[in-house]
């Protein structure tokens, strides 16, 4: 079996890699575990220096990595460069803060001394997606390695070049050989890796079905999991919103990474009195995108990662139109090579349509019209997902109340689109998963929170 990297812009094979045998996987896991036994005792100063080296390498090679992402999954090269630079940020953040986050906490009891300490678990398996092929990995790896763990990466099969490049970065930065390894295996082999007695926990970013499968297998083995899954993020636009800010922010969020983002805005819930004006402004911003070769600096909307994903998205759009949605923009597969899909706007979207109920993973926006604030909140929460949400209003007290008390999601923003930030916890509820990445909460997901009681 081969792991193939195919350019979604041209359809051409970039490179085929031999999939690892079971014996090779066994060797990798054992080597990683042995390396962990030494790494967990390494001083924070050594870890910090190595992680700062990772950040430096990411910045120095950012343009190179941007091109690699463009070739393997279609992200515009300049966006891939920015992604690599964001990875440097998360590495620096944990290099500078991990020691403080994991400092033992004294607790006063009747003991002579009692405290809580944070110890690494061991080898952590990361199952990662293709849409942000560097960022998704580093936001796990930086805190995990700084906490003293070791990592094994099973990346998406269409980005093997990115996976191997990340492994090389850690080696070049001075991390021990075998501490962070890439497994070139298919999805069917993941269960056996989870079952391995030296693998202590699993983190997955991906689809809800993939999360269910991993959680089920890990549950059978009683192993900790963190899941960051799909989303159908609602953005509420109230009657007192700054419509230009709302329209530009909503368009930017919907089209980032060709719409292939779990936290991209997907459902735009608009109060009826401003519907016409919001649609006009929103379409204007959606139209400004330049679709084309991701290696071209002028391109802002590259191809989708695979043709099958593009075709599935188009089927969902057609289903919505057949059920009564109105297509205001796009909605047609362009002629020519490449897995391209245009910026698309559907309005008159209602419950029972894919754009209302499901996650449309591509550059398709769904406008849902409501009568008032409470109806907007009800529609926003009417979802099996709960990753991100946003509300647009000039009344900041109103927006803060809705975001903090009413919207049912892990990340809620006011007058801005949802984004991940190393300083803030990231994750969802419901079918969007559980656990948190980033901030002090993320680094504590894969440690033993240990009570020590000294009489």
Rounded CA-CA distance 221/334 in Å is 47
Tokens (6 digits) for 218? 């890990």
Rounded CA-CA distance 203/37 in Å is 21
Tokens 């109060």 identify what position? 271
Q: How many CB atoms lie within 10 A of CB 308?
A: 10
DSSP bridge partners of 295: none
Q: C-alpha dihedral over 285, 291, 297, 300, to 10 degrees? A: 40
Rg (CA), the chain: 23
Give the contacts of 319 (CB within 8 A, at least 6 positions apart).
Answer: 353, 354
Give the contacts of 103 (CB within 8 A, at least 6 positions apart).
Answer: none
> End-to-end CA distance of the chain, in Å?
58
Tokens (6 digits) for 275? 């519907």
Q: Is 405 left (phi over 0), alpha (psi -120 to 50) or beta?
A: alpha
Give the contacts of 189 (CB within 8 A, at least 6 positions apart).
Answer: 22, 25, 154, 183
Rounded CA-CA distance 304/307 in Å is 7
Tokens (6 digits) for 442? 């993320």
DSSP bridge partners of 413: 390
Rounded CA-CA distance 346/206 in Å is 25
Q: C-alpha dihedral over 427, 56, 29, 27, to 10 degrees? A: 150
Rounded CA-CA distance 308/310 in Å is 5
Q: Is the dihedral of CA 334, 339, 344, 347 positive or negative?
A: positive
Q: How many CB atoms lie within 10 A of CB 250?
A: 25
Tokens (6 digits) for 332? 């047609």
3-state secondary structure 353-372: CHHHHCCCCCCEEEEEEECC
The catalytic residue positions are: 228, 262
Q: In 3-state terms, the chain is what percent helix, strand and coil (to 5)?
A: 45, 20, 35
């Amino acid at each position: 079996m081969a792991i193939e990297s195919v350019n979604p812009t041209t359809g051409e094979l970039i490179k085929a890699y031999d999939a690892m045998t079971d014996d090779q996987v066994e060797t990798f896991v054992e080597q990683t575990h042995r390396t962990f036994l030494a790494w967990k005792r390494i001083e924070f100063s050594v870890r910090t220096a190595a992680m700062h080296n990772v950040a430096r390498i990411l910045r120095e090679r950012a343009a190179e990595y941007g091109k690699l992402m463009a070739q393997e999954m279609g992200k515009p090269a300049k966006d891939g460069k920015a992604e690599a630079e964001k990875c440097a940020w998360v590495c620096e953040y944990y290099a500078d803060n991990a020691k403080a986050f994991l400092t033992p906490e004294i607790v006063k009891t009747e003991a002579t001394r009692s405290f809580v300490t944070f110890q690494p678990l061991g080898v952590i398996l990361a199952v990662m997606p293709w849409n942000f092929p560097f960022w998704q990995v580093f936001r796990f790896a930086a805190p995990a390695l700084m906490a003293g763990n070791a990592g094994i990466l099973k990346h998406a099969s269409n980005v093997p070049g990115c996976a191997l490049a990340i492994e090389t970065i850690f080696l070049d930065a001075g991390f021990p050989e075998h501490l962070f390894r890439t497994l070139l295996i298919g999805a069917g082999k993941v269960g056996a890796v989870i079952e391995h007695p030296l693998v202590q926990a699993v983190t997955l970013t991906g689809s809800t079905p993939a999360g269910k499968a991993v959680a089920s297998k890990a549950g059978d083995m009683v192993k900790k999991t963190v899941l960051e899954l799909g989303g159908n993020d609602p953005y509420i636009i109230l009657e007192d919103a700054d419509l230009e800010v709302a329209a530009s922010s909503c368009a930017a969020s919907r089209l980032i990474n060709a719409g292939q983002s779990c936290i991209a805005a997907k459902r735009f819930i608009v109060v009826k009195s401003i519907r016409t004006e919001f649609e006009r402004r929103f379409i204007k911003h959606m139209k400004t995108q330049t679709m084309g070769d991701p290696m071209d600096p002028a391109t802002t909307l590259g191809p989708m990662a695979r043709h099958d994903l593009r075709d599935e998205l188009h089927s969902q759009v057609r289903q919505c139109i057949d059920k009564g949605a109105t297509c205001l923009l796009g909605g047609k597969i362009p002629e020519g090579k490449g897995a391209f899909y245009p910026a698309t706007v559907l309005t008159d979207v209602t419950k029972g349509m894919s754009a209302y109920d499901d996650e449309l993973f591509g550059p398709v926006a769904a406008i849902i019209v409501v009568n008032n604030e409470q109806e907007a909140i009800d529609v926003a929460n009417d979802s099996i997902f709960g990753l991100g949400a946003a509300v647009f209003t000039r009344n900041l007290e109103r927006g803060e109340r809705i975001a903090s008390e009413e919207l049912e999601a892990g990340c809620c923003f006011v007058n801005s689109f949802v984004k991940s930030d190393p300083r803030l916890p990231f994750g969802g509820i419901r079918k969007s998963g559980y656990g948190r990445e980033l901030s002090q909460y993320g680094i504590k997901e894969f440690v033993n929170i240990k009570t020590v009681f000294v009489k």
